[in-house]
Amino acid sequence: MIDLDVDEFLDPDLTIDAVYTRGTITKTIPVIFDREYSLATIGDVPVQMAGPKLLCKSADVTGIDTTATFTIDGVVYKVTDPRPDVNGFTEVFLTRD
């Protein structure tokens, strides 16, 4: 375990606001959002694909599961794989709704 200040790491200059929704819970939280691109080949055709993910404070998404969504810049993303760590962060893999 690394001794990190989660709140300091999620500095407002480095984050954007996302609306987190799970069941009846809806709240705006700071996240680091990444629309990482990967290159795949289908047949002989190269295709770029976005694999959106975000990093957030685990305490902000207690109980997160694949029923949850995040709305970022008006786009709704479904949670496909939430991965909490021991340092107080959760990496969340997403797909567009």
Q: Please, are residues 22 and 65 in contact by the beta-carbon 8 Å criterion? A: yes
15-42: pLDDT as tens digits: 999 999 999 999 999 999 997 666 777 8
pLDDT confidence band for 12 (50 / 70 / 90): confident
42 compared with 88, residue with greater pLDDT: 88
Which one is predicted more confidently, 19 or 1? 19
For residues 41 and 95, what is the distance between their CA atoms, to the nearest angstrom? 20
Using the 8-state DSSP alphabet, how is residue 73 labeled? T
Task: Report the pLDDT value the prediction gives residue 60, as an integer from 0 to 100.
Answer: 96
Taking the C-alpha atoms of residue 53 and residue 94, their distance in angstroms, rounded to an integer, is 5
Please tell me the distance from the alpha carbon of residue 20 to that of residue 22, in angstroms, as a whole number. Answer: 7
Signed CA dihedral, 29, 82, 80, 63: sign only: negative
DSSP SS3 for 4 = coil
